[in-house]
Amino acid sequence: MAGFLYFAKGWRQPVTRRLAEEWGLGYACENEPVDAECNHPELGRGRLFTDLKRQDARALIARGRPRQVWSLHSPATGDTRPELHVGCWSDAPPQPSNLLRSTALPGHEVELGDGLGWVAPVALQWDAALSAHTAALPRGAVYDPVAAQWGPGKVDPRYEPLWQIATRFDEWMRRENQRGRDALGEQLGPAEELEVTLSKAEALSDATAALGFNYLAGPVEASVLGWFARDSQVALRVLEAVVDWPSLLAMVKKKEATGTGGG
């Protein structure tokens, strides 16, 4: 079992989950971290910490071993945050199962730059009966006194950032492919055509953030794992999964094969 290791350079006090959140590492600590002071051969004296449930306890006992590879996570900011580093075992880098959140959402598996399949959460799912996207995220309900009926409310605030990513990407897809409400009757184009309205930096940022809802990883961890090292276009595959594009394409292909598609 191999998760990520973190090192707070020059820090002498115990590292708690609350402190990790203040340092911008809240996403990496689903549980209270276990830590130990050490004098790392490369990084110097500081505090090594990790999520024990996702890391073999030997990680702390064998601190500073040559098999560890480290990258700068974030520079120090005065007295409020020390210089932070993220590391892992060179012979056992984190696998999807090591970083999977207990609150992971269902979705589509996408092969990333490391050659492994990571599940991108679906925020907008395709409803064949309605020929439209509907929310796939937890959301409340509100009562409309005029219509005298209950209707869908807002998405759970915890997933609002993912919802924004999904709706923004879906709007770009619709605009670029000139799709109407009945997407099955329109010509569907590849996501690469979106480059005129969706910058590579935005795609990478949104894809990383979306995957972060299912895994304990941020931009630095994504870079360490090589999620987009081979082809940055894979970020678009992730965003397509977030808006359930694979299901829509599968439906289109099925209709074409059976001759029931719209004309």
Q: How far is it, in rounded angstroms, from Cα 173 to Cα 158?
A: 25
Instruction: Say if residue 64's pLDDT is above 90.
Output: no
Structure confidence at residue 57 as a pLDDT band (50, 70, 90)? low
What is residue 180's predicted lDDT score, i.e. its pLDDT? 44
More confident residue, 42 or 76: 76
Mean of all residue pLDDT scores within the chain: 85
What is residue 91's predicted lDDT score, i.e. its pLDDT? 80
Question: What's 60's DSSP letter?
Answer: H
Instruction: Say if residue 183's pLDDT is above 80.
Output: no
Contact 217, 99 (CB under 8 A): yes
* Cα atoms found within 13 Å of the Cα of residue 134, Cβ hemisphere only: 11
Q: How far is it, in rounded angstroms, from Cα 163 to Cα 213?
A: 11
Please tell me the least confidently modeled range out of 37-46, 98-107, 131-140, 217-226: 131-140
Question: What are the backbone dihedrals phi and psi of residue 91, each rounded to the nearest 5 degrees, phi first?
Answer: -95, 0
pTM of the model: 0.84
**Residue 18: partners with Cβ closer than 8 Å, 6 or more residues away:** none
Question: What is the secondary structure of 95-112 as a DSSP string?
Answer: PHHHHB-TTPPPEEEEE-
Mean pLDDT of 228-254: 90
